[in-house]
Structure 1
Amino acid sequence: MQREGCRMSGGVQEPAASGMITLDDLDNMTDELGSDSAYNSNGSIEEEAEPMEDGEQDRLLNYWQTVARGHQVEVPNEMAEPIQQLTRSGRTEERQRVPFVLVSRKEKCGEVLYEKRQYGKAKWACIKMNEERYEQSICMGFMKLMRYICEQNSSGLYLGMTIPILTTVHTDEARTGLTRSVTVAYYIPSHLQDDPPQPTDQEIIIEEWPATVVFTRAFPGATNEDSIMREISSLGELLESPELCLEDTFIIAGYTNPAAVNRRNEIWFLQRP
């Protein structure tokens, strides 16, 4: 099934190292575009960025489409405005991080093996996807959330980017792969938590997630089914009591780091209620 013009091209050949079109792809694009970027080297946004000319917007869209082809994904022309909003929002604050309390950290020879964190109750904009391929579901879900963030909501305003973007995944009964059902989620900014703007897209649902304890480990690079299963296995071997966590539900946290060479991700294990 294909939606919103965002689809996997080809459909036969498996990409060698495919992954979702991430915020990092967008951020790396700003570095390549040079002085046109609204981001400074610290990842914050320069004050009063000038409005984009049509040619600049086209260049942003063309860059994204080039990145997408590398992931065997197509980006529709209608994504030009949301891409512009996320890239040149004119805000001065850094992207808001989902707040948490660090409970403990496991280290070995100076390397952080994993962290235990407490996340509070919060509202998230969520979209459930069930496409044939993992990368396709992530692409479609993320594109829809971009539209919600960029004015397609009841306030008609740009809501601001928060990090990380979360993807909830489930393993199959044999625990050897992922099921087709995933949920892509965007944390509602703190100042909007009490009264979140409602999505115009009925497939996006505002959910209140309960307070949760997670065990998390960072990893770089692309996120695809193979890398996710590998990271699930790695963290499972490191945890002292993995039986305390859910065995079939995991979260991939994707972060943005402008001008970063490598993507930054985390695998999250959810402690049982």
Structure 2
Amino acid sequence: MFPVSVHLLLAPLLCPGVSAQWGRTPTCTGATECFSYVTLCRDTEYESRAYEPSHWVGTQVLPAERRYRAITRLREYFNKKNRPGILIERTSPILTMYGNVNGVPREMAVFFYLPRRFLSNPPIPRDELVYLSNSPAQTLFVRSAGSIFFNLKRASQELLEDLLRQREIFMQDRFYLAEYHRPLSILGRRNEIWFQALGPVRCGSRFGSGQPTG
């Protein structure tokens, strides 16, 4: 069972000498606000990003339930099903957390990013299946997963193997799919696979220097 009090992701793990300057992500289209980051390192296989502290609203993907039902609960929360009953502007990305069960991805939970103005006072969900989750600053390993047609299992496994080959330290039993488009959009879709770093990232000579986005 996915815990209601979950912290979405964990601790900051920056490359030495890289300063955090948060910027608007280049993939932030069609949304009022997006989850900001600094690119620490980048090569042909993946990039390392430092993300700012953030607040999310989440819900489990229940057994025998399709993911769209979980997304619907979060949309209703944004559409006034909260206390004090306010309309929340659209944000990006939508995150789906997958458990890595014997090499097979399994949907565990879905998260919507809350605008920064709610960091200190997020609206309380009225649905008992919806919960708030705060996340401190963190570092993630990221790879683009293509557009509408891609193989999630293969994409996540390839990134996992690349991280192991480069001797990165990261959480291996779960990953996140970040979607920067509306679920029913056909054009301009952008997906990313995220793994959470658990140790200092290997910003060696093969990487470029960290640059803030935006």
The Cα of 1:43 is off from its aligned counterpart by: 5.1
Alignment of 1:1-273 (within 5 A): 94-107=31-44, 113-132=45-64, 136=66, 138-172=67-101, 174-175=102-103, 177-179=104-106, 182-222=108-148, 227-239=151-163, 240-241=165-166, 243-256=168-181, 261-272=187-198
Secondary structure of the residue that 1:158 maps to in structure 2? coil
Cα separation, 1, equivalents of 2:186 and 2:105: 28
List gaps (5 residues or longer) in structure 2: 1-27, 200-214
Question: Could you tell me whether the CA contact under 8 Å between 2:55 and 2:118 is conserved in 1?
Answer: no
Q: Is the 8 Å Cα contact of residues 94 and 180 (structure 2) preserved in structure 1?
A: yes
Q: Cα offset for 1:121?
A: 2.3
- Deviation of 1:131 after TM superposition, in Å, equals 2.3
Aligned residue identity for 2:118: L
After superposition, the Cα gap between the structure-2 partners of 1:233 and 1:190, relative to the gap in structure 1 and judged at 3 Å, is: same
Higher RCO, 1 vs 2 (CA within 8 Å, ≥6 residues apart) = 2
The question of whether the paired residues in 2 share the 8 Å contact of 1:123 and 1:206 is answered with yes
- Distance in 1 between residues matched to 2:81 and 2:96, nearest whole Å: 21
Q: Which runs of 4+ in 1 moved over 4 A?
A: 257-260
CA separation of 1:264 and 1:195: change in aligned 2, threshold 3 A: same
User: In 2, distance between residues paired with 1:143 and 1:242?
Assistant: 39
| CA positional deviation for 1:193 | 1.3
Change beyond 3 A, Cα 1:144–1:228: same
Cα distance in 2, alignment partners of residues 142 and 259 from structure 1? 15
Supply the AA of the counterpart residue of 1:233: Q
Deviations 1:171-196 (Å, cap 9, x if unpaired)?
A: 11x22x123x5110011101111100
Tell me the distance in 1 between the aligned counterparts of 2:134 and 2:188: 32
Distance in 2, Cα, partners of 1:132 & 1:124? 24
Tell me by how many angstroms 1:161 deviates.
0.9
Q: CA deviation at 1:241?
A: 2.7
Which structure would you say has the larger Rg?
A: 1
Amino acid at match of 1:121: P
Cα shift at 1:227: 1.9
* Count of matched residue positions in the alignment of Structure 1 and Structure 2: 170
Question: Is the alpha carbon distance of 1:237 and 1:160 closer, same or farther for their aligned partners in structure 2, counting shifts above 3 Å?
Answer: same
CA-atom RMSD in angstroms: 2.5
Q: Which amino acid aligns with 1:203?
A: L
Query: Aligned equivalents of 2:166 and 2:52: distance in 1?
Result: 22
Give % identity.
25
CA distance in 1, matches of 2:129, 2:85: 18
The AA in structure 1 aligned to 2:47 is: E
CA displacement, residues 205-253 of structure 1 (integer Å, 9 cap, x when unaligned)? 1111232211101122347xx8221111221343353551111110000
Q: Are the structure 2 counterparts of residues 235 and 95 from structure 1 closer, same or farther at C-alpha, using a change threshold of 3 Å?
A: same
